Amino acid sequence: MTAGEPLHVRVREIEELAPSLKRFSFEPAHGGQFPTPPAGGHVMLTLRDGARVMKNAYSLVTPPTERTRYDIIVRLVAQSRGGSSFLHRSVVPGDVLEMANPISLFSLAATARKHLLVGGGIGITPLLSFLPELKARGARFELHQLATGEEAPVFERLLAPYAAAEEIRVHSGGRAAFDLAGLLARQPLGTHLYVCGPHSLMDAVTGTAAGLGWPKGKIHKESFGGDVSGLPFRAVLKKSGIEVEVGETQSLLEAIEAAGVAAPCLCRGGACGECATPVIEGEADHRDDFLSAEEKASGKLIMTCVSRARGPRLVLDL
């Protein structure tokens, strides 16, 4: 789905929490208020480093009651695609950036009797947005955060405001010293599990939980979505007589629209069937819910709002 008009945000404050961790605080560049930050939500920042354009997703750590500022915490990673490094080194207070409206693919379960939160490293960020909401609901919860020695005091400080009544623990002794199986085994029925962190941690937590018989619907993993993104490719629009480049984070439909071609569309989410477009050449990477398995296999139609090319080139009858 497309996110509508982006927000323009001004960097209000940058706080160094640790040598590799910075908190960026943004305010609306043109005044007014932000949309209510969704619990577990994230934003996509568009970062322009000269001619290079990067789109990076960051969890919002702002409570839902806060409408005048959006905060993110960014970790400088060695193998960064460039976005985190750019934010750490080049962005200064007063800069104006483009930010997609927040969305959430990581919500708190309404029917949970208890919430068990497990974070690893910078994966603490969506958990920080859950805590004020859990407090507001008066919900029962338990949080375990894995940290390096350098991060541990920082995380303890960030979690301190919520530590009063419930169990919040920061583990800096490494993964091996953390009794994951014991933690998951002793939870009461009706507990929901939320995990965010490196893939290896998320796989270990979800795998251990599944092995202990946790129902699938009670295990939640942080996700930034990114349904429409993939490798860039070229789309040839035969009737219009033009070719468009479809970028990594752009949908085929968006690229066609950007080229000024009025393509049919309605739901923009792969459900309604309106944007079905005949494929003349090339193979489609189908991601819609509209075409049947047989129709997808025949390769004659593509839903431009969510699907992409499997390969460098796609020729469309458009």
Out of 25, 26, 125, 133, the only residue in the binding site for other proteins (CB under 8 A) is 133
* Number of chain residues interacting with other proteins (CB under 8 A): 38
- DSSP assigned state of 153: H
Segment interacting with other proteins, rule: CB under 8 A, options 117-125, 158-166, 176-184, 271-279: 271-279
Instruction: Tell the smallest beta-carbon distance from residue 33 to other proteins (Å).
Output: 9
- Name which of 35 and 278 has its Cβ closer to other proteins: 35
Q: Do residues 37 and 104 make contact, with C-beta atoms less than 8 angstroms apart?
A: no
Using rule CB under 8 A, residue 180 touches other proteins = no
Out of 53, 96, 136, 297, the only residue in the binding site for other proteins (CB under 8 A) is 136
Q: Do residues 62 and 43 make contact, with C-beta atoms less than 8 angstroms apart?
A: no
Using rule CB under 8 A, residue 217 touches other proteins = yes
- Burial (Cβ within 10 Å: 0-12, 13-18, ≥19) of residue 153: middle
Out of 238, 269, 276, 299, the only residue in the binding site for other proteins (CB under 8 A) is 269
Instruction: Tell the smallest beta-carbon distance from residue 104 to other proteins (Å).
Output: 6
Compute the distance between CA of residue 195 and CA of residue 62 in angstroms, rounded to an integer: 19
Q: Residues 225, 230, 234, 237: is their CA dihedral positive or negative?
A: negative
What values do phi and psi take at 158, rounded to 5? -65, -30
Instruction: Tell the smallest beta-carbon distance from residue 21 to other proteins (Å).
Output: 26
Out of 76, 77, 103, 242, the only residue in the binding site for other proteins (CB under 8 A) is 103
Q: Do residues 137 and 114 make contact, with C-beta atoms less than 8 angstroms apart?
A: no
Instruction: Tell the smallest beta-carbon distance from residue 12 to other proteins (Å).
Output: 20
Out of 11, 21, 39, 201, the only residue in the binding site for other proteins (CB under 8 A) is 39
- Name which of 78 and 262 has its Cβ closer to other proteins: 262
Q: Do residues 271 and 290 make contact, with C-beta atoms less than 8 angstroms apart?
A: yes
- Name which of 77 and 109 has its Cβ closer to other proteins: 109
HSE-up of 79 (CA within 13 Å, CB side)? 0
3-state secondary structure of 157: helix
Six token digits for residue 313: 């080139």
3-state secondary structure of 158: helix
Six token digits for residue 292: 């049947």
Using rule CB under 8 A, residue 57 touches other proteins = no
3-state secondary structure of 105: coil
Using rule CB under 8 A, residue 107 touches other proteins = yes
3-state secondary structure of 282: coil
Out of 20, 22, 25, 37, the only residue in the binding site for other proteins (CB under 8 A) is 37
Compute the distance between CA of residue 116 and CA of residue 137 in angstroms, rounded to an integer: 15
Using rule CB under 8 A, residue 317 touches other proteins = no
Using rule CB under 8 A, residue 247 touches other proteins = no
Using rule CB under 8 A, residue 197 touches other proteins = no
State the residues that interact with other proteins by CB under 8 A.
1-4, 35-41, 64-65, 101-104, 107-111, 133, 136-137, 216-217, 227, 266-273, 289-290
